[in-house]
């Protein structure tokens, strides 16, 4: 999987809004803080446009994302928010320029659709905080701190406290996935996620538990769980109980499908719609170890760094 270059001082971050509409003050706050990191910031032409619940028309959102992909000066594309809308434009986006001029794309939730396209093309991207989620001050904020580390190459991995549903073991595989609803929505499309041998990241928000059960059933029945190396369960926030499973939690529902797999599973990883939302490299090889002390996620270096890593750990 191709790794885009890490960002250096004065590199340009372009903020686009390929999904839901976003408040101008939110974007201004994020832009100011990114400039404090030493990067330049520019906005997509229609980044602050509102068209019903979308950030502009399909054509406007498509044009901004394509312009950022095509722009040789842009080192990273930061999606302003998720919501809904990426699936309406993804098939008219030409990602081919990223094969010769790779750049980081950052986002989560509805942005999972774009991540899926990039993974299909063999490109790494970052599942992480977006301007809508930036705090008023980044001082001490774990989400934005980890995002900066991911963009600059300082992110190596995480240690996660134990969880009662954790499944022990060791695994190594490409990290894939993201928002469960969007992964299921990509089924039978050109961007359908094929997680064979992968460590699968799952997160979601605001779903009824019976719907969560149905989505996990879809992954099971379609064979997408059969050849996983491991699973990282992120945040499942604001989930809704229902008459079918009144005494269940989201993790209980997930465990029904993950426990029989007999692969390591890390529950409670802080990524998704809660705080903190720690950055993760999608499309990079990940080592996952789960034991009674908790879980450890370690990203493997790429390129020359990878050769050094393997020689040091041989």
SS3 196: coil
| Catalytic residue chosen out of the listed positions 17, 46, 109, 143 | 109
Burial 270-284, CB ≥16 within 10 A → b, else e: bbbbbebbbbbbbbb
Q: Please state, as a whole number, how many other Cβ atoms lie within 10 Å of the Cβ of residue 168.
A: 11
**Number of C-beta neighbours around residue 262 at 10 A:** 9
Q: In the annotation, is 125 catalytic?
A: no
Rounded to a whole number, what is the distance in angstroms from the first to the last CA of the chain? 22
Catalytic residue among 146, 203, 207, 289, which? 203
Identify which of 86, 283, 249, 279 has the alpha carbon closest to the alpha carbon of residue 182: 86
Residues 115, 127, 211, 273: which is the catalytic one?
273
- Rounded Cα gap, residues 196 and 52, in angstroms: 39
273 is catalytic: yes
203 carries an active-site annotation: yes
Active site residues: 109, 203, 273
């Amino acid at each position: 999987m191709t790794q885009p270059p890490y960002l250096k001082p004065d590199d340009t971050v372009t903020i686009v809004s390929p999904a839901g509409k976003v408040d101008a003050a939110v974007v201004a706050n994020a832009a100011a803080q990114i400039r404090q990191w030493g990067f330049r910031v520019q906005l997509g032409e229609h980044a602050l446009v509102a068209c019903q619940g979308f950030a502009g028309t399909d054509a406007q959102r498509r044009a901004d994302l394509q312009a950022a992909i095509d722009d040789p000066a842009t080192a990273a594309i930061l999606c302003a928010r998720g919501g809904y809308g990426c699936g309406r434009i993804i098939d008219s986006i030409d990602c081919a320029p990223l094969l010769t001029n790779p750049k980081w794309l950052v986002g989560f939730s509805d942005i999972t659709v774009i991540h899926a396209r990039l993974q299909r093309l063999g490109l790494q991207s970052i599942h992480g905080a977006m301007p809508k989620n930036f705090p008023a001050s980044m001082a001490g904020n774990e989400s934005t701190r980890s995002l900066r580390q991911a963009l600059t190459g300082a992110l190596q991995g995480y240690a996660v406290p134990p969880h009662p549903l954790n499944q022990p073991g060791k695994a190594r595989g490409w990290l894939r996935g993201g928002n469960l609803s969007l992964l299921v929505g990509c089924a039978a499309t050109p961007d359908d996620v094929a997680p064979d041998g992968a460590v699968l990241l799952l997160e979601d928000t605001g779903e009824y538990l019976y719907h969560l059960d149905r989505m996990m059933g879809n992954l099971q029945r379609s064979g997408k769980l059969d050849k996983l190396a491991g699973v990282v369960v992120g945040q499942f926030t604001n989930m809704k109980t229902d008459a079918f499973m009144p005494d269940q939690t989201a993790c209980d529902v997930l465990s029904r499908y993950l426990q029989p797999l007999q692969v390591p599973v890390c529950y409670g990883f802080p990524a998704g719609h809660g705080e903190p939302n720690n950055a993760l490299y999608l499309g990079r090889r990940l080592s996952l170890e789960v034991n009674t002390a908790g879980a450890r996620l370690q990203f493997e270096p790429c390129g020359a760094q990878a050769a050094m890593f393997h020689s040091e750990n041989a």
